[in-house]
Amino acid sequence: MRTGEQLTIALPKGRILDESVKLLEQAGIACDQVNENGRKLIFTDQEQSLSFILGKPMDVPTYVEHGAADIGIVGKDVIEEVKGEYYELLDMKMGYCKMVLAREKSNETFDINSVNAVATKYPQITQEYFQEFGRQVKIIKLNGSVELAPLIGLSDTIADLVSTGKTLKENNLEEVSSIMDITTRLIANKGSYQLKQNRIGQLVENLKDLV
Ligand SMILES: Nc1ncnc2c1ncn2[C@@H]1O[C@H](COP(=O)(O)OP(=O)(O)OP(=O)(O)O)[C@@H](O)[C@H]1O
Ligand SMILES: O=P(O)(O)OC[C@H]1O[C@H](OP(=O)(O)OP(=O)(O)O)[C@H](O)[C@@H]1O
């Protein structure tokens, strides 16, 4: 039996997928066919009038903003980096980590005015952070393994995510400043939120009870 309003959900491949799927399942969205290990990127469940899109985390806001997905799940880091026209509906209280500034371990006191170049996957967040201090720094955009940058002379500082601190430690880096705390959020396309308010509203209520 079909369950009314068709809903398309954009899910981020990678480290927050499993926990996201688990929460959705608990909230009554059966995601059993979603499988990151194959090559399939869209999963449709006609019985539940549901579709799932599996995309890169940084692309989830784009799918949602343009209505290719009604709702999406994504980290606050991505929301702040890829700002757009969509609603942020709920803090799912998972995917805890933080964005920090880090440099090679040093005995010298950190001075933000001495930063020259920052390597990061998050140029927008980094630029805004330095703007708050009235500073303009060189920002070097990388796509991963950001911790390498100070070790190979690319930058003196990095802005990156930290959870256990293992990556910093194993690369002889230290946190010098905290930029923001991050959790995973549920976002919605503005039009879908109006048109499919029964289904989206019910899901948000169910999730609220769980987080
Ligand atoms: N070390 C971490 N600990 C906890 N959560 C993290 C950590 N790193 C990232 N996250 C959260 O998980 C989300 C997805 O991270 P993930 O590492 O899977 O993708 P990514 O590396 O940003 O994407 P891509 O595959 O495009 O490089 C991030 O946007 C962030 O919110
Ligand atoms: O504090 P930790 O627990 O060590 O986690 C931090 C690492 O996790 C993320 O990288 P990811 O594993 O996503 O790889 P990436 O460098 O390719 O982005 C982040 O960019 C750090 O490198």
Report domain extents, the chain: 7-95+183-210, 97-181
- Fold for domain 97-181? D-Maltodextrin-Binding Protein; domain 2 (3.40.190)
* Placement of tokens 């927050």 in the chain: 16
* Ligand 1 binding pocket includes 15 (Cβ within 6 Å): yes
Average pLDDT value over all residues in the chain: 95
- For atom 6 of ligand 2, the residue with the nearest CA is 162
Atom of ligand 2 nearest to the CA of 167: 4
Tokens representing residue 181 in the block: 């705390």
- Flag the least confident range among 26-35, 99-108, 114-123, 137-146: 26-35
Closest ligand to Cα 160: 2
Q: Which of 142, 138, 101 is nearest to 116 (CA)?
A: 138
The DSSP annotation for 39-104 comes to S--EEEETTTTEEEEEE-GGGHHHHHHTTSSSEEEEEHHHHHHS--S-EEEEE---S-EEEEEEEE
Instruction: Provide the pLDDT for residue 162.
Output: 98
Instruction: Provide the pLDDT for residue 3.
Output: 55
Same fold, 7-95+183-210 and 97-181: yes
Instruction: Provide the pLDDT for residue 1.
Output: 44
* Ligand 1 binding pocket includes 95 (Cβ within 6 Å): yes
Q: Which H helix or E strand runs over 167?
A: helix 166-170
- For atom 18 of ligand 1, the residue with the nearest CA is 14
Percent of the chain at pLDDT exceeding 70: 99
β-strand pairing of 7-12 with 157-162: unpaired
For the chain, the C-alpha Rg in angstroms (whole number) is: 19
Tens-digit pLDDT profile for residues 66-112: 999 999 999 999 999 999 999 999 999 999 999 999 999 999 999 99
Atom of ligand 2 nearest to the CA of 160: 20
The overall pTM is greater than 0.80: yes
Q: Distance between CA 203 and CA 21 in Å, rounded?
A: 13
Task: Kindly report the CATH class assigned to 7-95+183-210.
Answer: alpha beta
* Ligand 2 binding pocket includes 4 (Cβ within 6 Å): no
Atom of ligand 2 nearest to the CA of 170: 4
Which one of 142, 145, 161, 181 would you pick to mutate in the ligand 2 pocket, going by the greatest count of ligand atoms within 8 A of its CB? 161
